[in-house]
A and B are shown apart, each in its own frame.
Chain A
Amino acid sequence: MTTAATATLVPPGDDASANVQLKYRSQAVAKPYFIAAIGLFVGQIIFGLVMGLQYVIGDFLFPEIPFNVARMVHTNLLIVWLLFGFMGAGYYLIPEEAERELHSPKLALVAFWVFLIAGALTIVGYLAVPYATLARLTGNDILPTMGREFLEQPTITKVGIVVVALTFLYNLSLTVLKGRKTTISLVMMLGLWGLAIFFLFSFYNPTNLVLDKYYWWWVVHLWVEGVWELIMGAMLAFVLVKVTGVDREVIEKWLYLIIAMTLITGIIGTGHHYFWIGTPAYWQVWGSVFSALEPVPFFMMTMFAFNMVNRRRRDHPNKAAVLWALGTGVMAFLGAGVWGFLHTLAPVNYLTHGTQITASHGHMAFYGAYAMVVITMISYAMPLLRGREANGNRAQVVEMWSFWLMTVSMVFITLFLTAAGILQVWMQRMGDSPLPFMVAQEKIAFFYWLREAAGVVFFIGLVLYIVSFFVTGKSRAPR
C-alpha cells in the first residue's frame, strides 16, 4: 500500500500548478533561498579556480584580484551559501515537521532580500576597494571585528547577519512552539540557535592574541564540528524519513546517538586548535584525545544513511536525492572524519599544521558534510517546490552525472592536496636541511596543476547540476 505521505503528494484534480503538492504553502519561501545558495556556490567555485591558478601563476589577475582577496571571497561565499542553504532547509522542514504554516512567510522573504543584498554588497566591497579602505568606510574603528580569517565581513554586515538570523529563529521557533514538536525539528532548532549564539563571538575581539584565537575557534570550530553537525543530522534525517518511509522512532534514536557523540567529542575536541596558540599544554592531550573520536559521529551518520535506505519501505521516485543523501554520509565521514583524524593528534599536527594537509581536509570536509547535505535537501525539496514529487528521468540522470563529477573530482582535489601536503611537510619541516617555504612550494607545483584540473572538472559538474534544473521531460509524479 502507498503511504499517506504519497497520497498527499497527488494534487487534487488535474491542475498541477506550483505549490499544490506542498503540504504547507509557506514552505515555498525556501525556494529563493535555495536558488541564491546555488548561485553563490557558483561564485565560490569560480573564485576557487582563480585561486588555484594563482597558486601556480602567482600574478594571475594581479593587481585586480590579489590572492588574499580571492581567498576571502572563496571562503566567505562558501559560508554564506551554506547559510542560505540551512535557512532554506529550515523554512522548508520546520513547517512540515511542525504540521502548520510558517509563522510569517513575509518576514522570511524580507530577511531573504536583506541577507542577499548585504551579502552581495560585502563581496562587491571586498573586490572594489582595498580591505583597509573597506574597514574604514564601514566604521570598523567603532567596533573592530574585521581582519580575522572567515570573519572578514565588515561589522555592519555581521550585525546584518545577526538581525537576519534572529528573524529566522523567531519565525521558526514560533512555528515549532505552536505546532508538533519532533526530534528532527528540535535538533534542527538546537543547531540553528547554536549557530546564532556562537556567531556572537565574532564581535568579541580581544587585543590579547591568544584570547583572540581562543574565542575565534568558538565560532569556527563550534560551528563546523558542533552545531552545524546537528543541523546536518536533522536535515539528513528529514530527507531519509521522506524518501525511505522508515519509522520515525528508529530515525530519532539514531539522531539522539549522533548528537550525543557530536557534543561529547566536538566540544572538548575544540582543543585540537589550541595546540600551538599559547594556551596551556594540557590542551595537547585533551584536544588529541577528544578530537580523535570526532570521526565517530560522522561514521554513525554513514551507517545511519545506508541503514535507513536498506530498510526503506517505499521506493521514492527521487533517486537523485537518495544518491545525494548516501553520498553525504560517505563523503562527510571521509572528509571530516578520516581526513580530520589524519592530522588531529598533537605530535602529528606539530609537523602538518597549516600545510596543504589542512587544505585537503578543509575541501573534502566542507564539500562532503555541508555542501552535500544542502544539495541533498535542495535535491529533495526543489522538485516539490516546483510542483512535482520528483524530476523526470532525464533531469535525474543529468543530476546524477553532476553528483559523480563533483564528488569524484573533489576526491582527486583532496588526494592531490594531500600529496602536496606530505611533500611539503617532508621538504620544509623534516630532515637536516629543511627547504624554505617558497622553494618547497615550487617543487610541489605539479600537484597544484593537477588540483586545478580536478577543479575544472568540479566546475563542469556544477554547471551540469544547474543544467539539470532546466532539463525537461516527463515528470514521474502522478498527474
Chain B
Amino acid sequence: MASPVEEKRVPGDLAMWCFILAELAVFGVFFLAYGVARRQAPALFAAGQARLHLAPALFNTLLLIAGSATAAAAVRAFSANRQRAGRWLLAATLGSGCVFVVVKLGEFAERLKAGITLSTDTFWMFYLSLTFFHFLHVLLGMVILAAVWWMAGDGRYRPGSLDGVETAAAYWHMVDLVWVVLFALVYVAR
C-alpha cells in the first residue's frame, strides 16, 4: 500500500490540465485574431456589436459563474464525504449549463432568422465562430458533468479519491473562464 505522503499535486487528472491548456491556446489564438480584425475595421465591429443584446449575455455570464461556484462547492462537499449535497451541487451546475444552452439557442435562432451567416461580414463571422465554438464546449462540459454525476451515485468520490469530480470541475471552470473573456471582448468592449 502506498503511504499517504503529502506531495504537490494538481487537482484532477493531469491529462485534463494538458487538454485545458490546449483549449485555452485555441481560444487565445482566436481572441487574438478577433482583436487584430477589430483593429482593422472598428466601424464594422461597432455596428455589429450595437446589435447584440447585453442583458441575456450578462444573464448567461452570471449563470456560468454560479455554475462554477456550485461545481467548486460540489468538490468540497465530496471531500467532506457529504454525498447527497455533492450530487445536488453537481446537478445545479448541470442545470445552469442547461439554461445557458437554452438562452444561447434563442440568440442563435434570432441571428439565423435575421439571415446572418458566417459570410455576412467579419464581425458576424467572429461572433458566430467564437460563440458557437464555446457553445460546443459547454455541451462537452455538460456531458462530463453528467457522467461524473452518474458515477457519483455509488459513492466513489470520497475524501482522498476526488480525481473524477475535480477533473470535471476543472473543465467547467475553463468553459466559464473562456466565456467571461468572450463576453468582455465581444459583448462589452465597444
Q: Please tell me if the beta carbons of B22 and A264 are within 8 angstroms of each other in the complex.
A: yes
Q: Please tell me if the beta carbons of A289 and B26 are within 8 angstroms of each other in the complex.
A: yes
Per-position binary interface string of chain A over residues 246-275, scored 1 when its CB falls under 8 Å from any chain B CB and 0 otherwise: 000000010011001100110000000000
The residue of chain A having its C-beta at the shortest distance from the C-beta of B125 within the complex is A282
Which of these, A260, A281, A289, contacts B29 with CB under 8 Å? A289
Which B residues are CB-close (under 8 A) to A398? none
Which A residues are CB-close (under 8 A) to B119? 280-282
B150 at the interface (CB under 8 A from A): no
Q: Please tell me if the beta carbons of B26 and A285 are within 8 angstroms of each other in the complex.
A: no
Which A residues are CB-close (under 8 A) to B25? 293, 296
Residue total for B at the interface (Cβ-Cβ under 8 A): 15
Which B residues are CB-close (under 8 A) to A404? none
CA distance A431 to B182 in the complex (A): 39
Known pairs A256-B15, A280-B118; A285 contacts B22 (CB<8 A): no
Which A residues are CB-close (under 8 A) to B37? 285
Known pairs A261-B22, A264-B26, A292-B29; A281 contacts B15 (CB<8 A): no
What's the nearest-Cβ distance from chain B to residue A448, in Å? 35
Which B residues are CB-close (under 8 A) to A228? none
CA distance A282 to B118 in the complex (A): 7
Which B residues are CB-close (under 8 A) to A290? 26
CA distance A18 to B118 in the complex (A): 62
Q: Please tell me if the beta carbons of A293 and B129 are within 8 angstroms of each other in the complex.
A: no
Interface of A is mostly: helix
Q: Please tell me if the beta carbons of A285 and B126 are within 8 angstroms of each other in the complex.
A: yes
A286 at the interface (CB under 8 A from B): yes
What's the nearest-Cβ distance from chain A to residue B56, in Å? 25
B102 at the interface (CB under 8 A from A): no
The residue of chain B having its C-beta at the shortest distance from the C-beta of A281 within the complex is B119
The residue of chain A having its C-beta at the shortest distance from the C-beta of B23 within the complex is A264
A288 at the interface (CB under 8 A from B): yes
B88 at the interface (CB under 8 A from A): no
Q: Please tell me if the beta carbons of A257 and B125 are within 8 angstroms of each other in the complex.
A: no
CA distance A288 to B33 in the complex (A): 9
B114 at the interface (CB under 8 A from A): no
What's the nearest-Cβ distance from chain A to residue B104, in Å? 20
CA distance A456 to B19 in the complex (A): 43
The residue of chain B having its C-beta at the shortest distance from the C-beta of A345 within the complex is B33
Which B residues are CB-close (under 8 A) to A256? 15
B18 at the interface (CB under 8 A from A): yes
Which B residues are CB-close (under 8 A) to A257? 15, 18-19
What's the nearest-Cβ distance from chain A to residue B163, in Å? 13
The residue of chain A having its C-beta at the shortest distance from the C-beta of B126 within the complex is A285
The residue of chain B having its C-beta at the shortest distance from the C-beta of A254 within the complex is B15
CA distance A282 to B126 in the complex (A): 8
What's the nearest-Cβ distance from chain A to residue B131, in Å? 14
Which A residues are CB-close (under 8 A) to B125? 281-282, 285
Q: Please tell me if the beta carbons of A286 and B22 are within 8 angstroms of each other in the complex.
A: no
B59 at the interface (CB under 8 A from A): no
Which B residues are CB-close (under 8 A) to A286? 129
CA distance A257 to B17 in the complex (A): 11
Which B residues are CB-close (under 8 A) to A280? 118-119
Which B residues are CB-close (under 8 A) to A281? 119, 125
CA distance A290 to B23 in the complex (A): 11
Lowest 8 A-B CB distances belong to which pairs? Answer: A282-B118, A282-B125, A289-B29, A289-B30, A280-B119, A292-B29, A257-B18, A253-B15
Known contacts A256-B15, A281-B119, A285-B125; 13 further A-B pairs (Cβ under 8 A): A257-B18, A257-B19, A260-B19, A280-B118, A281-B125, A282-B118, A282-B125, A282-B129, A285-B30, A285-B129, A289-B30, A292-B29, A293-B25
26 cross-chain CB contacts under 8 A: A253-B15, A256-B15, A257-B19, A260-B22, A261-B22, A264-B26, A265-B26, A280-B118, A280-B119, A281-B119, A281-B125, A282-B119, A282-B125, A285-B30, A285-B33, A285-B126, A286-B129, A288-B33, A289-B29, A292-B29, A293-B22, A293-B25, A293-B26, A293-B29, A296-B22, A296-B25
